[in-house]
Amino acid sequence: MTGPVNSTKSEEAKALLARQSDLKNEIELRLGEGGRELLESLSNLSLELEEIHDQALFRAAMRLGTTIAQPRRGPWTPAALR
């Protein structure tokens, strides 16, 4: 069952990447000579922001994993979890 789901996701990703490429090309055409440089700068900033986001998600996941891995010394009630 994993195959068709992954295939669908892969097809969605390919379609989105194609649309992204089309949009970038259109932006370059509309902006003229300096359009490519501006678009590359914007893309680089987006990649840096994505990296920061990914690192924050990773750290949060590690904290959660560490918390879950610790043995509980009390009941699993909302009050005890605070």
- The answer to whether residue 39 sits within a structural domain is yes
Our count of domains for the chain comes to 1
pLDDT at 1: 47
| pTM greater than 0.85 (yes/no) | no
In the chain, % helix, strand, coil (3-state, to 5) comes to: 85, 0, 15
Mean pLDDT for back-to-back runs of 10 residues, the chain (82 residues): 72 92 88 84 92 96 90 76 70
- The answer to whether residue 20 sits within a structural domain is yes
Q: How far apart are CA 32 and CA 46, in angstroms?
A: 21
Q: How far apart are CA 55 and CA 12, in angstroms?
A: 25
- The answer to whether residue 58 sits within a structural domain is no
Q: Which domain range does residue 33 map to?
A: 11-49
- The answer to whether residue 15 sits within a structural domain is yes
